[in-house]
Chain A
Amino acid sequence: MAIIVNLDVMMAKRKMSLNDLSERVNITLANLSKLKTGKVRAIRFSTLEAVCEALDCQPGDLLEYSKE
Chain B
Amino acid sequence: MKTRVKANNLIFKGLKIISWVIFVGLSVEAGGLLVNFIFSLVRPEFIQNLYQKLDLSQLYQNSKWAFFGMYGFVLTISILKAVLFYQVVLLVTKIDLSKPFNSWVSKQILKISYYTLSIGLLSFIARQLAKDLGHNGFVLNQLEAFWADSQAFILMAAVIYVIGTIFSKGVEYQEELEETV
Chain A positions near chain B (C-beta within 8 angstroms)? 27, 31-32, 34-35, 39-44, 47
From residue B9, how far is it (CB to closest CB) to chain A in Å? 31
Considering residues A32, A35, A41, A44, which has the most beta carbons from chain B within 10 angstroms of its beta carbon?
A41
Closest 8 CB pairs of A and B: A41-B179, A42-B180, A31-B181, A35-B181, A40-B181, A40-B179, A47-B181, A41-B176
A31 (CB) vs chain B CBs: closest residue: B181
Bound-state Cα–Cα, A42 to B180, Å: 5
Q: B151-181 interface mask toward A, CB cutoff 8 Å, 1 = contact, 0 = none?
A: 0000000000000000000000001100111
Q: How large is the interface on B (under 10, 10 to 19, 20 to 34, 35 or more residues)?
A: under 10
Bound-state Cα–Cα, A44 to B176, Å: 12
A34 (CB) vs chain B CBs: closest residue: B181
Bound-state Cα–Cα, A35 to B179, Å: 10
Residues facing A in B16-74 (CB within 8 A) are none
Besides A31-B181, A40-B181, 20 other A-B contacts (C-beta < 8 A):
A27-B181, A32-B181, A34-B181, A35-B181, A39-B179, A40-B179, A40-B180, A41-B175, A41-B176, A41-B179, A41-B180, A42-B176, A42-B179, A42-B180, A42-B181, A43-B180, A43-B181, A44-B180, A44-B181, A47-B181
Chain A residues positioned under 8 Å from B176 (CB to CB):
41-42
Chain A residues positioned under 8 Å from B180 (CB to CB):
40-44
11 contacts across the A-B interface (CB closer than 8 A): A27-B181, A32-B181, A34-B181, A40-B179, A40-B181, A41-B179, A41-B180, A42-B180, A44-B180, A44-B181, A47-B181
Considering residues B175, B176, B179, B181, which has the most beta carbons from chain A within 10 angstroms of its beta carbon?
B181
